[in-house]
Amino acid sequence: MIKVGVLLHVYHLHSEDWERLVWGDPERNELGVGAKLFEYLLTTPPNAPIHTVIYNGPSRKQGLSEGEYTLRFLQDKQHHLPDFPKLKSLYDSASSRVRATFADRVGQIYVGESIADTYDEIHRAALYFQQLGVTYIVHIAAATHAPRCIQLQAKVREDGFIPSDQLWCTVSSDRPFAGRKASDVLVVEPPHRADDPLLHYTPTLASLVRRYYGLSPSGKKQFIADVAVSLEKLYGDPDAVSRRANSATK
């Protein structure tokens, strides 16, 4: 039987609206990353072996590391799945065996070592799962972070750190970062179509945007301001920028 690995991406403990990001919003029927994990652990057949890991970022709270605090928070929440309308019937109708397996899976979540970033997280998880003989991995992340996780999975594989027999997939939660929505995420691909007039034009937009993340906070603000001025000069009416951008993404 195929062994399954689950990598839960956890978030800085002082992130805005952290509890809703991690647990979700039952009133809106929106699952956070932790509730999405529990949905997976509950609905996967009891005979399927599952290994779940979460890693430690830089934040701490109440004397606990990021992973330890998140795990304790989720374990305290595990009996509240029926608060989500979409999970209530699943949880209420679960057999005693399914519930026991679910509780065991939650109790066996492993907290790994500290990581530097999401790339490092995926790299370490790939090695950890390889040692366990896991070949199918589910990576759970927030709605506004999942696209980045997919890109980094591809990069880690490209760098040779994901074994060829490992199949990775990304599962997005229902909750984005506070005050954001999934449509706020913009994926900037390099030109690739043969009929694209920018196919061999350099520098690419992606390469310029990548450099933005190496700037200081003041530098980032200046970069954004400069781009806004440039777009206004090109388009004139600032509202036209939004209209054209929305049209281009449809």
In this structure, the strands spanning 167-172 and 110-114 are: unpaired
The pLDDT value recorded for residue 235 is 82
Spell out the domains of the chain, with CATH numbers in brackets: 4-172 (3.40.50), 188-248 (no CATH)
The pLDDT-based confidence of 236 (bands split at 50, 70, 90) is confident
| pLDDT at 17 (0 to 100) | 98
Model pLDDT for residues 183-203, shown as the tens digit of each residue = 999 999 999 999 999 999 999
pLDDT at 108 over 80: yes
This prediction's pTM: 0.89
CB 174 within 8 A of CB 32: yes
- 157 with 118: CB under 8 angstroms? no
pLDDT of 231 reads: 87
**Do 42 and 88 meet the contact criterion of CB atoms below 8 Å apart?**
no
